Amino acid sequence: MTSRVISAFAAEEEKRVLSLKPVLAPVHGRYGDHPHQVYDAWPADDPDAPRVILLHGGYWRYDRMHLTPFAAYLAGQGFDVLLPGFRRSGGAGGYPETFDDVARIVDTLPDGRPYVLAGHCSGGHLALWCAARGLLPAGSRWHTRTLPTSVLALAPLTDLVATRDDDLSNGAALQLLGGTEHFAERLPQVDPLTLLRGAGTTGVPTVLLHGAVDEEVPLTQFADYAAVHHDLRTVVLPGTGHYTLIEPDASGARAVADTLREMAAAFPDRRPEKAHEEAAHR
């Protein structure tokens, strides 16, 4: 297979964004006993601020630190932000541990509040998978009826077969699922595209946002997912690459923040006192 070639524009974008200095969060917490089962938090002063849970990218291998500048940026835009870590491929994670951790994150960290589950690249894959957990067989360890309030997938990997066939990030999809010998058997449990075929929807309000000149994830992955997800909303940003979506105050990141505000405006209000007030006025 030939080596992947990207333009000078894409190479400069990647270097610029991934070399940003990490930002220390004001709050840290744990959701499990493993050293990777931790999260960073940027709590909002406003108790009604919309909550965003961010799942970081890095082809399921790398840690969350490259996303801390973007998390801090969103906090500055008025969001209540959680950035969890999880066990990752090439170390303590991969199948099933990475999926165990992400399922635990969305099952425990929202604290009963509505939220947008947002993920970038492989984190977008994990966010789309979380939305599809209700489509898993009832006997699956990850099946649930408690789904994210909404999902924003940022330039996501949607298709693990295509990710394997294109050898993205030097075999990242194969590594995630434990190698060639396990790939076909495990794929139906964790591949968003496979889970959507036949179902047509996850039932979770979902937006797929990507740049028109993304050179990291083939654009066909976005189009193929949109073709099977019948109520998906797709947002395409002209002249935008893969990493600008998470570059603080870049046009791509501003578009992400605007999209998050639109999604949060559709949240159900679950505060008991608010529901009581509305009932009293009926």
CATH code of 88's domain: 3.40.50.1820
Q: Output the pLDDT for position 3.
A: 54
The contacts of residue 182 (CB under 8 Å, 6+ apart) are 95
**pLDDT of the residue at 198:** 87
Q: Is position 137 within any domain?
A: yes
| Residue 1 domain-assigned (yes or no) | no
In a domain, 187, yes or no: yes
How many structural domains compose the chain? Answer: 1
From the centroid of its chain, how far is CA 219? 17
* Residue 235 forms part of a structural domain: yes
Instruction: Record the pTM.
Output: 0.94
Residue 105 domain-assigned (yes or no): yes
Tell me the two tokens of residue 162.
Answer: 């295509």
Distance, CA of 18 to CA of 229 (rounded, Å): 31
The per-residue DSSP string of 153-190 comes to: EES----HHHHHHTTTTTTHHHHHHTSHHHHHHHHHHH
Q: Give the chain's mean pLDDT.
A: 94
* 241 bridge partner residues: none
Contact between 225 and 231 under an 8 Å Cβ cutoff? The reply is no
Asked whether residue 276 carries a pLDDT value surpassing 70, the answer given is no
Q: What is the mean pLDDT of residues 145-157?
A: 97
DSSP 22: P
User: Can you say whether the dihedral through the CA atoms of 100, 102, 107, 111 is positive or negative?
Assistant: positive
pLDDT tens digits, residue range 25-84? Answer: 999 999 999 999 999 999 999 999 999 999 999 999 999 999 999 999 999 999 999 999
Domain presence at residue 2: no
238 within some domain: yes
Residue 256 lies in a domain: yes
Residue 273 pLDDT > 50: no
Query: Which residues span the domain enclosing 105?
Result: 8-280
Q: Report pLDDT for 160.
A: 98
Amino acid at residue number 158: T
